[in-house]
Structure 1
Amino acid sequence: MTRAQAASEEETPLQLFWINFSQSWLAVFGLAVFCLIILAAIFAPWLSPQNPYDLAQLNILDSRLPPGSLSSEGHVHWLGTDDQGRDLYSAILYGLRISLGVGVGSAFIALIIGCTLGLIAAYAGGRTDSAVMRIVDLQLSFPSILVALMILAFLGKGVMNVLLALVIVEWAYYARVVRATALVERDREYMEAAASLALPRWRIIFRHLLPNCVPPMIVIATQQVARAIALEATLSYLGLGVPITEPSLGLLIANGYQYMLSGRYWVSVYPGVALLVTIIALNLVGDQLRDVLNPRHLK
């Protein structure tokens, strides 16, 4: 046995995963950018020169200042200000908190619901499988944006309402993917061995079947987070998302759209760039995860 072979056998699964993942510099770059975005959103109160939600810190005389301008109090607005005098740099950081919170939160809750129903449908089969998949097919037959608009038109604006709407339109994707993977794993030898030991069904499903469905779950979760962020921005842009007192990136873009033709591009463009960079970074990571976690590449 050569040294290279011995070294490869000593590598842990996590090390092998990182070696395969780091083969794409674009994916590594996307992961680094997304981590920076998360850190910027978490530490927004310390990184921002002002709190855009605090009316006492806003001055209407500083509205729509171009990038690099000085405020009436002598502060530099590096990205300019919006129509309410909010520092755009601060507004973007706080907007990232809402966009990421809604996107990651909705994807996590939808993952739990979708994966649970997908696993139960695949393992139980029969009428249970047919009933769950008919609901999934019905859900996926409508455009996600249309379903979300209908839900928010009934529930009204609000962060929690947007979160609920995104969960409702996302869970079916997880259910379908997990069910397809679980159907393949259900007939494996280890599943037959677990069933022959008369183990409880819940233990067979969540202890033996679930771990083998994790790779596709990770891939689709990454893609669904990016999709949820974009969908939330669209809903907020249309005026049915988060309220104006808690602006997300989509609402910031909508607030600045009316000033585009007057030359005040920064009010809408910079939040749009932040949204675009976030979604691209997530998609780069998701594309590489799809290749790395492909069952044909797993050892």
Structure 2
Amino acid sequence: MTAVPEITDPPIPLEEESGFRRQMRMFLRSPGAVLGLVVLLIVILLAVFAPLISPQNPYDLRQLSILDSRLPPGSESFDGMTYHLGTDSQGRDILSGILYGLRTSLLVGVLSAIAASLIGTSIGLFAAYMGGRIEALTMRLVDLQLSFPTILMALMMLAVLGKGVMNVVIALIIAEWATYARTVRGTALVEREKEYIEAARSLRVPGWRILFRHLLPNCLAPIIVIATMQVARAIGLEATLSFLGLGASVTEPSLGMLIANGYQYMLTGLYWISFYPGIALLVTIVAINLVGDRLRDVLNPRNA
């Protein structure tokens, strides 16, 4: 007897798949993006569970000993603890500092991106919908904001606000909202002239509903891409500001502060104090950029 072939459902052609499934398939086609996503998930998990997996709380003075300062990687403390990545000048475990520093750096990046996107998106949508003098005035303000480099704007704000993680977040929000406003306004202008918007206006649909039910969904793709890229940029800016002494305070660990702690010892051979936090910062930023770069291609309307 001949075997009866098994009847299976034919594969769904790519053009007939739902938008989300097609985008996921496009994203997974990039090995770099998948690698970046995996690394990013690992970084997030390490940051979230840092209090549980780190050998010590590096900013709890009761757990530090000056006798353990500047120990090379693999050294043991007087109480038998192994410092796999060495210690800094205060006797802090570098590995624990990196885990706690990831928490602070990711917090700065995510909070600043979310707040800046909300503010910039609202302003961009309102300007595009209203048009006329309101749009012109708003865009001149945006142009003025974008004429200053982000790092310069952040430095000016921190000179007024002072040091601290939350002050860094506020400074980055003020420095970054205009990017969202310009992008969203350009996308919303295209949608504003389409027939469904004119039909909604003729039916006297409330303006807020047109803004957030019709215009906003069509602006989400560029917002997601910009926000992803801004998280990486904000982490790098926070590290730069902390390195310059204007970012996180000594009691608020961040990767930039850890790098700054070891800068003065680089020429003395104590490379590990700054080297390992620098590697962690580089890996985090590269992973986010890999994901964001692929999202830009996947969410591009031309590829839909």
TM, length-normalised to structure 1: 0.96
Q: Distance in 2 between matches of 1:121 and 1:89?
A: 48
Matched, 1:32 2:51: no
Q: 1:3 aligns with which of 10, 13, 33?
A: 10
Q: Distance in 2 between matches of 1:167 and 1:35?
A: 25
Q: 1:212 aligns with which of 201, 218, 243?
A: 218
1:157 counterpart residue number: 163
Q: Distance in 2 between matches of 1:4 and 1:57?
A: 59
1:86 Cα deviation after fit: 0.6
1:191 counterpart residue number: 197
Q: 1:14 aligns with which of 20, 23, 27?
A: 20
Q: Distance in 2 between matches of 1:3 and 1:177?
A: 41
Residue identity opposite 1:189 in structure 2: E
Q: 2:279 aligns with which of 242, 258, 273?
A: 273
Residues 14, 22 of structure 2: 8 Å contact kept: no
Q: Distance in 2 between matches of 1:192 and 1:72?
A: 75
Distance 1:239 1:3, change over 3 A: same
Report matched runs for 1:87-102 at 5 Å. 87-102=93-108
Matched, 1:244 2:250: yes
Residue identity opposite 1:279 in structure 2: I
2:259 counterpart residue number: 253
1:123 counterpart residue number: 129
SS at 2:56 equivalent = coil
2:3 counterpart residue number: none
1:57 counterpart residue number: 63
Q: 1:77 aligns with which of 77, 83, 94?
A: 83
Show CA shifts across 1:192-244 (max 9, x none): 22212210000000111000000011111111111111111111000000110
Residue identity opposite 2:197 in structure 1: M
Runs of 5+ unmatched residues, structure 2: 1-8
Residue identity opposite 1:210 in structure 2: L
1:5 Cα deviation after fit: 4.5
Q: Percentage identity across aligned positions?
A: 66
Show CA shifts across 1:23-52 (max 9, x none): 101001001111110110000001101001
Show CA shifts across 1:227-271 (max 9, x none): 111111111000000110112101110110111000000000110
Q: Distance in 1 between matches of 2:35 and 2:197?
A: 39
1:107 Cα deviation after fit: 0.7
Residue identity opposite 2:273 in structure 1: V
Larger radius of gyration: 2
Q: Distance in 2 between matches of 1:128 and 1:72?
A: 67
SS at 2:268 equivalent = coil
Q: Distance in 1 between matches of 2:196 and 2:39?
A: 40
Matched, 1:290 2:293: no
Distance 1:5 1:49, change over 3 A: closer
Q: Distance in 1 between matches of 2:164 and 2:185?
A: 32
Q: Distance in 2 between matches of 1:277 and 1:157?
A: 26
Matched, 1:114 2:120: yes
Residue identity opposite 2:107 in structure 1: G
2:6 counterpart residue number: none
1:3 Cα deviation after fit: 2.9
Q: Distance in 1 between matches of 2:25 and 2:290?
A: 16
Residues 116, 176 of structure 2: 8 Å contact kept: yes
Residue identity opposite 2:300 in structure 1: N
Q: Distance in 2 between matches of 1:145 and 1:6?
A: 47
2:110 counterpart residue number: 104
Residues 139, 182 of structure 2: 8 Å contact kept: yes
Q: Distance in 2 between matches of 1:157 and 1:190?
A: 49
Deviation larger for 269-278 or 193-202 = 193-202
1:234 counterpart residue number: 240
2:208 counterpart residue number: 202
Q: 1:147 aligns with which of 136, 153, 169?
A: 153
1:7 Cα deviation after fit: 7.6
